[in-house]
Amino acid sequence: MPFGMLLSKSFYKKIIFFNLLIVLQLFINPVFAIEDRIPDVVQAIGKAIVNIKTEEIAKSETQDKKTSIIKKFMESEEEEDINENYGSGVVINPNGIVVTNEHLISKAINIKVKFLNGKEYDAYVLGSDPELDIALLKITGEESFPYLKIKKKKVVRVGEKVIVIGNPYGLSNSVTVGVISALGRNLRIDNRVYVNLIQTDAAINPGNSGGVLMDTEGNPLGIVTAIYSEGKGIGFAIPIEDVMDMLSEFLSVGSKRPIFGLFLEKKKDDGSVYFNVNRIIPGSPAEKSGIREGDKIIGINKKKIKEGIKLYKTMRELAKMDSIQLNILRDEKNFIVDIETKSINEYKPSPIDEGLINVRVSDIKGYPKLKFRTRQRDGVVVTKVYKGGLGERMGLKNGDIIIKINNFLISGKEEFNTYMLEGLKRNYILFQVKRKESIFYLPVKLDALL
């Protein structure tokens, strides 16, 4: 064989091999590029992911079920009675607004936020939505904090690579990687109904709750909220759009919680979902509209009640309309109730103590001070607990003194009313109560209030 022909064939083989390498690089390099970006994204975003430590009163197994939520916090503190819980949060504003999960702070008496650099701050609840399992915290401090910028809405695709940053088991800034497994998931976990969740196979462990789910470019896609205990590699996050809607609601000037005046319970009979009216606030728009206790709300604005409906979110949306139409079932008969939303937006329960929590409170002076033989100056004293009401179910008793609401010291009934309304707007109310020589905390759950 001539040498020139041999050289020619060898030359062509090299060209073909070189071309194949180029083709392979075109396919492989994007994958490597994504992998290479992850450390940079984590380094940039990690400063805005915080460790959240909460303290809550420990529950005693020996306590009666009715009062199991009350764990007395003795001033002498002879034994440990405080539980510490750990989770994650995302700072989304330079002023120190943090997004986390509601279940992490729902019974917290103290909240600490710790940054990657080791700096720790106190925080308080700015607002919460138990149905969405989202809470907004405000860090106490005037400085500017590192935060995660929320960019314009991004189309999330099944199969795209994602990163989760959180604090599992209190370990700061732990990173896991996976893909989006599914979108729009609805499920029930621990007696909560979640809707429209993002599903991912990125490892999510206890303590990751409140962490961030983001794409490989650092765009936040959701806030980690739940783990499906029945299977590994199944975690969920709340879409970031839902979080931002809530943030906008709570930060808007003059934002308040619209109240119709119904305490509802979601029930399901023969496959049909409805809201049962358990209690009506006297003098409320609900009472004036003719709704009675025991009525069933089976539809809102010509739409049937569905399993995944979020009561608080629905009420906020409806309050922006001119009118609301409720489909009521009473004694097997259907009828429609039309309500002007103006009456809902302007309504304020009065008296607040009796209307909201079914107790009567008084300033600590005169006859109440003598009757209950107290030397306490600050706060309000509970003078009556209505049978079967929310206050009784919470565990309040005659003579109890409510000293603080959401860790704000109250001087009397006027401030009690002010902080109750403020707490109602935040959807978060925590009492500090004194009974004889004991002090304990009681969360006021008004999730069922429409």
Residues 30 and 116 in one domain: yes
| Residue 312 CB contacts under 8 Å (≥ 6 apart), including other chains | 129, 130, 131, 427, 447
Per-residue pLDDT of the chain (450 residues; tens, 9 = 90+): 454 444 455 655 556 656 665 555 545 554 444 556 778 888 888 888 888 988 876 654 434 444 444 444 434 334 446 788 888 889 988 888 899 988 888 778 788 998 888 888 988 888 787 777 888 888 887 788 998 888 766 788 888 888 888 876 666 778 888 888 888 887 776 666 777 888 888 887 777 788 888 888 888 888 888 666 665 668 888 888 888 877 776 666 445 667 788 888 878 777 788 888 888 888 888 888 888 888 888 888 888 877 666 666 666 676 677 778 888 888 888 888 888 877 777 788 888 888 888 899 999 998 888 888 888 888 999 999 998 888 888 889 999 999 988 878 898 999 998 888 888 777 778 888 888 888 888 878 776 777
Is 269 among the residues known to form the active site?
Answer: no
Name residue 197's beta-bridge partners.
Answer: 185
Residues 328 and 423 in one domain: no
Round to the nearest angstrom and report the end-to-end CA distance of the chain. Answer: 93
Verify that 226 and 179 share a domain, yes or no: yes
Overall domain count for the chain = 3
pLDDT confidence of residue 402: 92
Instruction: Examine the residue annotation and report whether 133 is marked as an active-site residue of this protein.
Output: yes
Which domain-ending residue is among 346, 380, 395? 346
Report yes or no on whether pTM surpasses 0.85: no
Catalytic residue among 209, 284, 289, 362: 209
Domain limit, last residue, from 230, 255, 280: 255
* 83, 186: one domain: yes
Q: Examine the domain organization and report whether 404 and 315 are in the same domain.
A: no
CA angle 157, 309, 301 (to 5 degrees): 115
Residues 309, 290 within the same domain: yes
Active-site position among 133, 215, 353, 400:
133
CA dist 127 and 447 (Å) reads 13
117 contact partners, CB below 8 Å, separation of at least 6: 47
- Residues 328 and 184 grouped into a single domain: no
Q: What CATH number has the domain bearing residue 282?
A: 2.30.42.10
Residues pairing with 112 in the sheet: 53, 122
Of the three residues 240, 255, 270, the one that is the final residue of a domain is: 255
Residues 180, 43 share a domain: yes
Residues 104 and 204 in one domain: yes
103 is a catalytic site residue:
yes
Give the domain extent around 315: 262-346
Residue 10 to residues 19, 21, 167: CA-CA distances in angstroms?
14, 17, 58
131 and 32 part of one domain: yes
Cα 201 → chain centroid: 23
Q: Which of 88, 103, 215, 289 is catalytic?
A: 103
Nearest alpha carbon to residue 105 among 197, 203, 210, 222: 210
Q: Which residues contact 176 (CB under 8 A, 6 or more apart)?
A: 163, 164, 202, 203, 204
Q: Is residue 77 part of a domain?
A: yes
Vertex 208: Cα angle to 203 and 211 (nearest 5): 105
* Of residues 102, 177, 179, 152, the one with CA closest to residue 426: 102
Indicate whether 249 and 314 sit together in one domain.
no
378-381-382 Cα angle (round to 5): 155
